[in-house]
Structure 1
Amino acid sequence: MPSMELYYFPGTCARVALIALEQAGVPFSTQVVRFFRGEHKQPDHRARHPLGKVPVLVVDGQPLTENMAIIGYLYALAPQAGLMPQAGDPLVTARNWADLALCAATLHPLVTRLRVPEIIAGPEHSSAVWSRAEAALQEAFGVLETRLAGQRWMLGEAWSVVDAFAFWLWDTAVGADFDAGPFPALRAHAEAMRNWPAVQRALATEDAAFATFAAEGAPFSPPPSMRPVA
């Protein structure tokens, strides 16, 4: 089994890779990149990810970036772990991976605009960016809501890492003051995810990191909501 170390920051999309590693059941270690200390801008992390982002999975000394690629690698490494269904039909398989890509390429940028709109357009336009992202997410989450109203998990009756990505997206959006009220199926899905063993282990790892920050005298608080004031 290769040596694996995940570079992450708690609460970011690196949670998806963390859940995937826990579900895969492979040995790995973690290393927190302290963004609030500028560690993501240091040459050693830039060597792992040229843009200074997370997650990065270092495999036998070689960095692998992007959740889609990390999940694909772990699926190939542990195909029986249930990260993705083994459909048999190439079209069904492609559609399952398309759902993962929907989370990574379509919903993730919208959630980023909701969580940290000032990065996208500066403080003076943050509320406008938040509003546009919220409107787009109302539609996008509506699609997921309809799906989950008729089945237990994102891809049917079996859990998959698509659920992990959807959970992070939902959790982050709600944390940015997105209105969860109209989405009972997504709320129920999030609660089910919090009871999933791999998710519980990943969240415990994040909680331990936050506790370490506090012990170091640097407790972390997420940025305030940019929801426009009525």
Structure 2
Amino acid sequence: MQLYYAPRTISVAVAIALEEARLPYETIRLDFAAGEQTKPAYCQINPKGRVPALVIDGGILTETGALLEFVAAKSPDAGLVPDDPFLAARMREVMYYLASTMHVNHAHKFRGQRWADNQDSWKDMASKVAETMTASCEYISSNGLRGPFVLGETFSLADAYLYVVCTWLEGDGVDVSAFPKIVAFRQAMNARKSVQAVKAAGML
């Protein structure tokens, strides 16, 4: 498997899951500063011009949630998705919130052109990021984290996803010290070999 990623982006969540699943993979780094993700060569792999993309035997997969689910299905013994249907839905509830709301809040800081043409609008969106990301942290603290991890004591796909989002918080102007559950979660994640591996590889 080949994972196309850019450092410090949500694509690193897939690398964490691959490490947790102990699946072999190769990483291909894209230089976002040089706009490599928008060049024809990469757009043949992912026409959306975004990361992650995972090249596997038989095709190419995109979208973080889909790739995470694929990794879990490829390595069921890793236990990345709980067997209990309710807990599995709880895991996905958090993942979908991250994808639809918290990641979008973050993107308003740098990607205003996705939603508006007027540069003053971009500045307005960027100025709102600290507020919206703080609100998302409040939601995650109250409703997302049920213990050290999203599902309490058990690691799941949602934790790989949430961890990468939480690495953006200081840069987004969030006072992380106001959220002790998130601080504890990041500490628990930093202790995992999967996170240590992607950090050693310069992905985070």
TM-score normalised over the length of structure 2:
0.88
Residue matched to 1:56: 53
Residue matched to 2:157: 161
Equivalent residue runs for 1:1-230 within 5 Å:
4-60=1-57, 62-87=59-84, 90-114=85-109, 116=110, 118-120=112-114, 121=116, 123-147=119-143, 151-206=147-202
Residue matched to 1:219: none
Q: Structure 1 residues 86, 149: closer, same or farther in 2, change over 3 A?
A: closer
Aligned length: 202
- Quick one: distance in 1 between partners of 2:146 and 2:89? 21
**Structure 1 stretch 177-186 or stretch 119-128: which is displaced more?**
119-128
- Quick one: distance in 2 between partners of 1:135 and 1:123? 20
Q: Mark the structure with the bigger radius of gyration.
A: 1
Q: Report the aligned-residue RMSD.
A: 2.2
Letter in 2 for 1:79: P
Question: CA contact under 8 A between 1:117 and 1:127: conserved in structure 2?
Answer: no
Q: CA offset at residue 149 of structure 1?
A: 7.2
Q: Structure 1 residues 14, 149: closer, same or farther in 2, change over 3 A?
A: closer
Q: Structure 1 residues 92, 160: closer, same or farther in 2, change over 3 A?
A: closer
Question: CA contact under 8 A between 2:42 and 2:49: conserved in structure 1?
Answer: yes
Letter in 2 for 1:77: K
Letter in 2 for 1:177: G
Q: CA offset at residue 180 of structure 1?
A: 1.5
Letter in 2 for 1:19: I
